[in-house]
Amino acid sequence: MRGSHLTEPLVMLATVLQWLVLATLTGILVGTGCSLFLRILFATAGHTYTAPLWLQMAVLPVGGLLNGLLLYYGKRQNRTGLKDSVIIAVNDQNGKLPWKTLWIKPVATLITLGCGGSAGKEGPCSHLGASIAAGLGELLHLNSELRRRLVACGVSAGFASVFGTPIAGAIYGVEMLAIGRIRHNFLFPAIVAGVTSYEVSRFWGVPYPKINVSFVGDFTELLFLKTVMIGILCGVVAWIFIELLHGMRRQFTRLRERFGIWPPLMPCIGGVILALLIVVIPNQYMGLSLPLMDNALQGQPMPYLGFLWKALLVAVTLGSGFYGGVITEQFVMGAVAGGAFAHLFGLSPPLGAAVGLVSVVAAASNTPIAAILMGVELLGGDSTLYVAGASIAAYLIVGHRSVYPEQQIAATKTSWMTARADVLVSQEKVRLSGELLRWWHERRHPGTPYTADPTDPPEDRL
């Protein structure tokens, strides 16, 4: 570098100071906004558990209709042409989000969870955080690169506020943007915003439950392999959940197009289906289902198909057009599955539930690093060796699919498969690599030249 040797350190110091100011301000605003949302949510959600069955069944279609009307007419306020996806905002919209629709998703989530729909609480907080950050970037007239980072800060701050995991939440907000890539220049601002948002939420009295699972004892290679087996199981659970979720969305879309149904009525139809399902599925699988997760972590017996009932309710809820998050539900599915199957691998149910808790998140969201850190922050530092291998194994088993259709594929998870870089996971079909196909062709047809697929990337056509 030409010039003074102090130039680079001074620029780096200025960068640190810049993000200390911007990310701290973002964390304060997002933490306050998310705290307000969470306090309202705690006051309104969960009351349907104790209501008579007929009332539970009645409010679900009504909640669906309200959700449909809100999303249908509320989104008409967005005349900017911008999509309200936080991932697209960072990857493709230069950190811009429609400001007027900021309130829609939080209110829709309150309706969803208030009527007993099965969904998570973090979705509206990440959206709220991203929107606040986008508005701040616009107010300060920041350039496009700074806006992208600021929006990622807002997402991280939202996750940190919801789960009480400032570091994991920060990493999640960055890692969720693409499969196989973490933008390291986003990390410092995300961590500052996450920690600030978490502390602000604690100041406003947001409660964060403590999870007490014992990880004492000698950790052995055999025990490590057992946790990896739980991770493989959780990868399959995540695979089933993703396929159910996207499959249900496709079926509801076909139903609407086939019969020309008015879009706001689709969540109402979903509410009718949910009302029928809860006749045979216990109501503990409705809503957030946090008591169910707590029971699994305490070692209470869990049904083998419990995760499937939860996945089905979430898929119908979100697939029909209700709005809500998905991460809380991944926690529940992972804990239930881990607790139910733990004894098959020689593990205690609480330990299996704890490992499963984060492994499904690692797989379904393609965020293994954030999941491992969630284990550390939620379960304690002693859990690291238990959750690390399981989370990575689950992440690999689920393949190149995601609960987030807007997530990009930056790199494939194995050298045996190939995909175009930076294409949405919903738009790209991952294929076997040319090298593997060539090897297979040479084994089956010795002496016959291999003809590469012209659609393969150049490196696979060599």
Sign of the Cα pseudo-torsion (173, 175, 181, 187, in order):
positive
Q: Show the tokens assigned to 381.
A: 């530092």
Q: Where in the chain is the domain with CATH 1.10.3080.10?
A: 7-203, 221-397
The parts of the chain modelled with pLDDT lower than 50 are: 459-462
Report which of 177, 128, 124 is spatially closest to residue 149, judged by C-alpha positions: 177
At residue 457, the pLDDT reads 55
**Residue 4: per-residue pLDDT:** 62
Closest-CA residue to 235 (of 369, 83, 6, 391) = 391
Side chain identity at 137, as an amino acid letter?
A: G
7-203: in CATH 1.10.3080.10: yes
Cα–Cα distance measured from residue 413 to residue 370, given in angstroms and rounded to the nearest whole number: 17
| CA of residue 395 relative to chain centroid, distance | 13
- Rounded Cα–Cα distance for residues 180 and 411 (Å): 5
Q: Are 191 and 149 in contact (CB under 8 A)?
A: no
Cα-to-chain-centroid distance, residue 244: 15
- In DSSP terms, 120 is beta-bridged to 325
pLDDT tens-digit readout, 269-284: 999 999 999 999 988 8
| Cα(290)–Cα(295) distance, integer angstroms | 9
Number of CB atoms found within 10 A of residue 456's CB: 18
432: enclosing H helix or E strand: strand 431-432
94 φ/ψ sector (left φ>0, alpha ψ -120 to 50, else beta): left
Give me the residue label for tokens 């700074």. 146
For the stretch 380-439, pLDDT in tens is: 888 899 999 999 999 999 999 999 999 999 999 988 888 888 888 888 888 887 777 777
Please give the DSSP secondary-structure letter assigned to residue 452. P
Distances (CA, A) of 356 to 208, 244, 405: 20, 19, 23
CATH architecture for segment(s) 221-397: Orthogonal Bundle (1.10)
**pTM attached to this predicted model:** 0.92
Q: What pLDDT does residue 461 have? A: 45
